[in-house]
Structure 1
Amino acid sequence: MNTNTDLISNNEKSFAKIMTPIILSVFAVYLTIGMTLGTLPGFVKNDLKFNSFIVGLVIGLQSLATLLTRAYSGKVTDTEGAKTSCRKGILLMVVSGVTYITASLFTSSTLLVLGLLIVARVIHGIAESLAITGALSWGIGLVGTHKSGQVMTWNGIAMYAGIAIGAPAALWLKSSCGMTAVFIIISLLSVAGWLCTVRLPSLPADASHIREPFYKVIGLISVQGLALAFSAIGFACISSFIALLFSDHNWGNPSMAFMAFGFFYILTRVFCSSFPDKFGGYKVAVVSLFVEFAGQLLIGFSPNKTIAIAGCSLTGIGFSLIFPSLGVLAIQKVAPQMRGTALGAFAAFFDLSLALAGPLAGLAAAYYTYRSVYFLGAIGCLLAVGILLANRAKK
């Protein structure tokens, strides 16, 4: 009589058993990213005395490196296995941590420090590409494609929880112990990410499968990818410049802004993870984009930090379901043997957005104000809606 209920319960336990180590590993990886996002903008601008464009460049370089290696990470995942991809990514993350530490020891030579930071950001970006493409493909392969939406949702929770917690934690650590301590923790977290998945089984890789060229895969998922790219501008603006907006207006510690974005992002995913399946990815994405649009305008027009934090909260709610809503549609367009490549191509649009948005937002801030950065994010949301509407009209 309770057979179906027991089966569902067992499936949920199996899903949790498999996914928990992967989610913890992804959380550790994104703690390192959150820690750099929270401290590097202030370090580059206030400690090293570089301008806003250099701040945006340093922050955006990681995403650019991730973008340029998505094809490689997808190939490694599909031909050598998702576990191998994760392992290579985490090893490179340790290397980036050591490079960050080295940079912090030579603050008397700002150009040398900047050069080392650039190297560290590039390595960090390659590491992220390998680790996250591998983690997503690994999770989907272990639990089944019918749960791919859940895999993306929970990996996303781990990613943005890491950013939300990592940024304020790093700010506190920097004020208490200095930048070197922040970079040491980044290296240790990378090792923790490795240890989390040691016992998980590998997935068989089919190196003989005739692979579609990466550019063709990009073409297949271009609509979803472009919508994701424009929606990600708002996130890029918060991650790169919210701390400087608070500093410019003497609003105090920006930790609450990062935490508000992350908290509402995670809350939305936890309670609304079924929405893409229930209402359709297209509808959820469009509604989410309008919510994010409102959040970006709220930050741009904010008269005080309370309104700015509210804008970060709305942005988190709006941005939360866009990746899983569009991502599930993207991986359905390719064969299972190309799943890693499809995920890499889809995520590449996100990387491209962050890589370009940082420097562009830096130019906007340099020529206008930090508020103007968030009008750029609002325009991105409208462009994403336009792309989805135009594609819908063709069908």
Structure 2
Amino acid sequence: MRVRVNVFVPLAPKMVVVFVGFLIAGMGMPVLPIHVSQDLGFGTFVIGLITGSQFCSSLMTRLWAGDFADRKGPKKAVVVGLSLAAVAGAFYFVSLAVIGNPALSASILVAGRGVLGAGESLIITGSVAWGLATVGPQHSGKVIAWIGTAMFGALAAGAPVGSALFALEGFAAIAAATILLPLVMALLVAPLAPLPGRSTASASRFSVIKAVWLPGLGSAFASLGYGSILAFSSLLFLHREWADGWLAVTCFATALVTSRILLGHIPDRLGGPVTALVFAIVEAFGLLTMGLATQSMIALAGSALVGFGYSLVFPGFGIAVVRDAPPESRGMAMGLYSACLDVALALSGPALGVVGDVAGLPAIFVTTGLLVSLSTIVALSLLRRA
């Protein structure tokens, strides 16, 4: 317990930054599909396109964000990311100003989500690099898990807050919060002591890619469950005529946060691939449960299983990345590893939206469960390689 406390204390400020940065996404996720569907009149494909644009932007900026954190220092990366998140809120307001032209409004939302994706890329990559530099790679599982806990805790808290703001003042309230929260956090981060950027040349990108590609593939498959919950769970509840669809996101995030708080030490202790293997099976079962559920409580239980399963898959595969990546380029490696998540989410939004249009919303979750199960093959490959 003493070791955990000693690690937690220096990580706490980074966790607060990530919590505030991703509270923005938590507030927007459950209401954005409803806003696009009811206020703009578009179907699941456009919803998936707007949702996926954020992850597509993150994908395009992750490697740069990691290299930026290595060169300029992780604190500067975090501050720039918070500033970009505030700019995204301004795009939201512009999209509302032209809501009479749904196509233009949706296009501006795509741009705003893209800016937000770049900001969040810098926030999460910079915070992880900051944490690894502070407590050392021997605690890499805890760094990835606990900073991720702050991110998903923000999603859990943001879902009801966002739904309440949307009910009171509509999407304009979400836009205002998206501007104010990151600016306040940037002011609070300013007094923290920075860490210097690297003083040596970076490792070759080939060596970084070699360390990342296989665990990144496993993470990409597992992250499809995360994407389907964020983009389509609230619509599933509307389709089934169940109340309080935002609870699915909250159950997912709450189970994930609880698991990482109580079990975040497991990947460092048992090994990343073993942890990823076991928890990916749980995640896939939860998605199948959601797709086949005939009652809202069963669907919520399935969503919680998805969160519990996904909780340690990402840090499990991440340990393999930190172990094999060149020390002077760990920020770049973690940025590239996170980009694998973004590839999955950017492509899965529109693709799963097509599945929903053709076969119905429940089919999205059944299909995703089958895809997530492929990550177990990657975990077994890493075990054999080790």
TM-score by length of 2: 0.96
Q: Which residue, 36, 39, 48 being the options, matches 1:44? A: 36
The residue correspondences of 1:3-14 to structure 2 (distance < 5 A) are 9=2
Question: 1:284: which partner in 2?
Answer: 275
Q: How many equivalent residue pairs?
A: 386
Give the drift of 1:304. 1.3
Q: Distance in 1 between matches of 2:191 and 2:204?
A: 32
Question: 1:380: which partner in 2?
Answer: 371
Residue type at the aligned position of 1:80: K
Q: Does 1:113 align with 2:105?
A: yes
Q: Does 1:177 align with 2:177?
A: no
Q: Does 1:56 align with 2:48?
A: yes
Q: Are the equivalent residues in 2 in contact too, given 1:223–1:388 (CA < 8 A)? A: no
Give the drift of 1:148. 2.2
Q: Which residue, 137, 150, 158 being the options, matches 2:150? A: 158
Question: 2:250: which partner in 1?
Answer: 259
The residue correspondences of 1:131-280 to structure 2 (distance < 5 A) are 131-213=123-205, 215-280=206-271
Question: 1:335: which partner in 2?
Answer: 326
Q: Distance in 2 between matches of 1:360 and 1:165?
A: 28
Q: Distance in 2 between matches of 1:83 and 1:336?
A: 18
Give the drift of 1:352. 0.6
Give the drift of 1:393. 4.1
Q: Distance in 2 between matches of 1:138 and 1:157?
A: 16
- Structure 1 unaligned runs (5+)? 1-7
| Corresponding residue SS for 1:38 | coil
Q: Distance in 2 between matches of 1:146 and 1:57?
A: 39
Give the drift of 1:14. 5.1
69-78 vs 272-281, greater mean Cα deviation? 272-281
Q: Which residue, 75, 79, 86 being the options, matches 1:94? A: 86
Give the drift of 1:307. 0.7
Can you list the C-alpha shifts for 1:356-395, whole angstroms capped at 9, x where unaligned? 1111110000111000111121112221112222444456
Give the drift of 1:13. 5.5
List structure 1 runs of 4+ shifted beyond 6 angstroms: none
Distance verdict in 2 for CA 1:36–1:272, change over 3 Å: same
Q: Distance in 2 between matches of 1:276 and 1:148?
A: 9
Question: CA RMSD of the aligned region, Å?
Answer: 1.6
Can you list the C-alpha shifts for 1:293-316, whole angstroms capped at 9, x where unaligned? 110110010001111001001101
Can you list the C-alpha shifts for 1:3-55, whole angstroms capped at 9, x where unaligned? xxxxx84x666544422221111001111111221111111111100121000
Q: Distance in 1 between matches of 2:173 and 2:385?
A: 54
Q: Are the equivalent residues in 2 in contact too, given 1:153–1:269 (CA < 8 A)? A: yes
Distance verdict in 2 for CA 1:169–1:203, change over 3 Å: same
Question: 1:130: which partner in 2?
Answer: 122
Give the drift of 1:162. 0.8
